[in-house]
Amino acid sequence: MEYINGGVCAAKGFKASGIHCGIRKNRTKRDLALIVSDKKASAAAIYTLNLVKGAPIYVTKANIADGKAQAVICNSGNANTCNANGIEIAEKMCELTADAVSIDKNDVIVASTGVIGQPLDITPIAEGMNELVSNLGYDNSGNAAEAIMTTDTILKEFAVSFNIGGKECRMGGIAKGSGMIHPNMATMLVFITTDAAISPEMLHKALYADAQKSFNMISIDGDTSTNDMVAVMANGMAENAEIVAEGEDFDIFCNALAMITEKLCKAIAKDGEGATKLVECFVDGGKDWQTAKTVAKSVICSSLFKAAMFGADANWGRVLCAIGYSGADVDVTKIDVSFTSAKGTVVVCENGAGVEFSEEIAKEILLEDEIKVNINLNDGDTSAVARGCDLTYDYVKINGDYRT
């Protein structure tokens, strides 16, 4: 397996587009994205667990209940959430897309992201549909990735090539996510395409299992959004034997998916609103997955710890504190902690107690833009990784007037 270029257009038979249609006032920002498969594809998706859900989620759930889809339509600038006519607007987006690309309206995945509680006018979407479709291209993933961004500062797109049964397969993904990131799903949207042949049931199984260790292990600010969605389309144009059960081919597919999702998760975490650093928490020595997961997420979600990372302060006590209130069943007298970056590693805690270390070296390590906090629970052989970022002044500035 290897990383390649192309994003959601890397796989055979997928074209994409992204334009500014007028939902967003800033004409320099694209606000409408479209991804279309040449063939109807197996489809699977997972969604936010927030009880308040964007209207597009309900429509997408209904549309892919048969495990099939052929297009994704997504707008930014308005979440289409908590609107009286939200379902109607989301369904109309599907109808407009279906008519424009000559597919069934029930084969459209629809998504929205942006401000909650403001009516979404269908007019700019309808008026922009011809331009959106005319700009569709097999090398146009970047425009679609840009069009789904809100407070994101960088494009998030990756692709991989892999082999199943002697057939080259490709998979690519784009994502948006910068704030309101705290999955059980995050304001996170991810769209993944692949030309591998896989049944809808196995596609969902692969996606759901992967999300537990990828998307559900990132946190920016502790807020679970209303519109989170990760959707995958697999059109089978690589012509491998269809994956219909677990086995070697399924494992290869899952590994390729993990390569994509890991890259997307790191990009989302590093691009957190106001963030200056990607922070990853690696937990080893857990007695089981749930314990390691709980510890990793608790540390990465700690506002005090995140603030310390912003200040390059090796305040390891905040790590122990977060472990202590996590609810995980751990022996605190066994815990080791260290910090790592491109500048090296500093050990700050052994057996639950502090050790002497150079504050100057520690600060040099923590001034880097990618930091790892390493925790060994010394109580088993299970590991987990959670990802997030530092907490900065700019996070408050961005969210203080996000709506107005």
pLDDT digit string, tens, across residues 50-108: 888 899 999 999 999 999 999 999 999 999 999 999 999 999 999 999 999 999 999 99
Using CA atoms, how far apart are residues 62 and 319, in angstroms rounded to an integer?
43
What pLDDT is stored for residue 221 in this prediction? 62
The mean pLDDT of 318-342, rounded to a whole number, is: 96
pLDDT surpasses 50 at 355: yes
Confidence of residue 186 (pLDDT cuts 50, 70, 90): very low
What pLDDT, in 10s, does the model give residues 385-397? 999 988 888 878 8
Specify the range with the lowest mean pLDDT, choosing from 158-162, 220-224, 231-235, 272-276. 220-224
Per DSSP (E only), the strands in 204-287 are 229-234, 278-286
Q: Which of 187, 226, 291, 392 is catalytic?
A: 187
Rounded to the nearest integer, the mean pLDDT of the chain is 93
Higher pLDDT, 392 or 295: 295
pLDDT surpasses 60 at 263: yes
What pLDDT is stored for residue 210 in this prediction? 95
Specify the range with the lowest mean pLDDT, choosing from 323-327, 332-336, 397-401. 397-401
pLDDT surpasses 70 at 402: no
pLDDT surpasses 60 at 187: no
Confidence of residue 272 (pLDDT cuts 50, 70, 90): confident
Confidence of residue 181 (pLDDT cuts 50, 70, 90): very low
pLDDT surpasses 50 at 198: yes
Q: Let me know: does 159 contact 4? Beta carbons within 8 Å.
A: yes
Architecture of domain 278-400 in this structure: Roll (3.10)
pLDDT surpasses 90 at 3: yes
What pLDDT is stored for residue 403 in this prediction? 64
Q: What share of the chain is helix, strand, coil (3-state, %, to 5)?
A: 35, 30, 35
Side-chain half-sphere exposure of 214, counting CA atoms within 13 A? 24
Does residue 187 carry a catalytic annotation? yes
Region(s) of the chain under CATH 3.10.20.340: 278-400
**Beta strands across the sheet bearing 336-341:** 353-354, 344-350, 336-341, 370-376, 278-286, 382-389
The angle formed by the CA atoms of residues 63, 67 and 69, to the nearest 5 degrees, is 60
pLDDT surpasses 90 at 404: no
Confidence of residue 42 (pLDDT cuts 50, 70, 90): very high
Region(s) of the chain under CATH 3.60.70.12: 2-270
The mean pLDDT of 336-348, rounded to a whole number, is: 97
Architecture of domain 2-270 in this structure: 4-Layer Sandwich (3.60)
Counting residues of the chain whose pLDDT is more than 90, the rounded percentage is: 81
Q: Let me know: does 25 contact 118? Beta carbons within 8 Å.
A: no
Q: Let me know: does 131 contact 94? Beta carbons within 8 Å.
A: no
What pLDDT, in 10s, does the model give residues 219-240? 776 667 788 899 999 999 999 9
pLDDT surpasses 50 at 193: yes
pLDDT surpasses 80 at 179: no
